[in-house]
Amino acid sequence: MQLARILVAALLLAGAACRNTEPDGGRVLLIGIDGATLRVIEPLLEQGRLPHLAALANAGTYGPLRSERPLRSPAIWTSIATGKKREKHGIDGFVRNDKGRSRLFRSSDRRSHALWNIASDAGLKVGVVNWWVTFPVEQVSGVMVSDHAIPGQLEARASLHSASVPQGGAIVHPAEWQTQIEVLGGDLSSLSGLPDPFAAEPDSVAYLWQSLLGDQPGKDARITRIASRVDERTRPDLLMVFLKGIDPVSHTLFGYIDPVKIPEGRRPGGEALRAGRDALFRYYEYTDGLIGHLIRGFGPDDLVLIVSDHGFEAGPTESNKILTGLHTSSAAQDGILFARGPGIEAGSKASSMTIYDITPTILAWLGLPVGDDMDGAVASFLERPDSGRVATHDAEAIGRADGRPSGADEDILEDLRALGYIE
């Protein structure tokens, strides 16, 4: 076993040395959009309401991304980042039992190297912002802002993450980025040209959305602002950003575009029906605007990927009488994939892609070997030389901050309860 680990490490180091720690082509941007579905996107594309996604589709390819049930976001997003099934990487839901107590899954529960570890080990620079299950943060070559950085008030947790104790419950790596993240995370101003997607509704309707969804547009804007700063300051070879907003908005409003599936006594109608449908569509437009901000630093020689973990369906929930959107059956199993980069046929339709194919595809683009223990394959639309194979990328231990509380656990758990994910 020890000999195998030494051989794997030698292969990785040799590959990195041959490449002089620079990718063969351009950089990579991977944006995760939680719960986005082509059922909403395609009509909005036809209406010209999603200009940035339309530009990506016209310059490259798009289509469904096949997920795997049960459709639990932490498990799926970890599969997207590792190329492996949940049985291999170890993250199978939102919470786990730990000595008789329930707690959120942590990055230390993940048994496989993720894209950011593999790229860092190969000498590339990475930026990771808000990806599922990235607390405690990992010691990457670049910047990692964990998914515990945005929930709640950053200022209230600042004492937990002072520069004097950078490895104690740290939500940011390296520690010197903590102050920048607190400033950017506390910036409540709107991004230029992106109005509040709920503000156009009558006061009573807008109040309903805001009371249910809180400051979700603001959270997505702050994540975008942080990721843009990481990109501007560090120019990573691989930037991964996760935007959550479409998922909670869809849980609340998806039934407004298919009300027949909602029980008659709870079925929205009249002005509320129109307002809810329009608010859902406007949040997709809002997210398209955030994508526009994120791709500004990526040119035609770079690979840009937009993916989601699953779609949505209309339906009632037992745990929450307000929610009208679900992702439980095969009707919601497909997410989305948009890809643009050199060699990708403009205006083509992607087909037969799965969540397990994203990591092998990005590794091939970066000139890194694909792991034999991965469950996906390189996308057929990617015209790159074969980057080779390696038995596994999991030979070395992952350096992480310790698991002291981040201060955000209860905020995250409360959001999960409100959406019916946990009791």
Provide the token pair at 252: 């609340």
CA 185 from chain centre, in angstroms, equals: 18
Q: Which residues pair with 56 in a beta bridge?
A: none
pLDDT of residue 211: 66
The number of C-alpha atoms within 13 Å of 420 and in the hemisphere containing its C-beta is 19
Each residue's pLDDT tens digit, 73-91: 999 999 999 999 999 999 9
423 within some domain: no
- pLDDT beyond 70 at 209: no
In angstroms, the CA 271 to CA 212 distance is 18
Peptide bond into 136 cis (omega under 30): yes
Q: Which residues pair with 28 in a beta bridge?
A: 238, 303
Query: Residue 346 domain-assigned?
Result: yes
DSSP 357: G
Q: What is the pLDDT of residue 98?
A: 86
Distance of alpha carbon 417 from alpha carbon 423, whole angstroms = 6
For 36, 197, 229, 407, the CA distances from 282, given in Å and listed in that order, are 13, 5, 26, 32
Tens-digit pLDDT profile for residues 272-323: 888 889 999 999 999 999 999 999 999 999 999 999 999 999 998 877 888 8
Contacts of 61 (CB under 8 A, 6+ apart): 337, 338, 339, 340, 344, 345, 347, 348, 349, 350, 381
Residue 364 identity (one-letter amino acid): A
- Residue pair 25/303 in contact (Cβ under 8 Å)? The answer is yes
- Residue-level length of the chain: 423
* Cα 68 from chain centre: 16
Q: What is the pLDDT of residues 180-198, one digit of tens each?
A: 888 887 776 778 788 888 8
For residue 206, tell me if it sits in a domain.
yes
The better pLDDT of the pair 313, 351 is held by 313
Name the E strands within 195-302: 238-243
69 found inside a domain: yes
pLDDT at 35 over 50: yes
373 lies in a domain?
yes
Range with the poorest average pLDDT among 11-15, 105-109, 226-230, 409-413: 11-15
Range(s) of the domain holding residue 167: 2-418
Helices (H), 27-131: 38-46, 51-59, 73-82, 86-89, 115-121
**Residue ranges in 299-408 assigned as alpha helix (H):** 358-366
pLDDT at 364: 96
- pLDDT score of 161 more than 60: no
Q: Domain with 373 in it: what CATH number? A: 3.40.720.10
Number of domains in the chain: 1
Does residue 25 sit within a domain? Answer: yes
Domain-located, residue 113 = yes
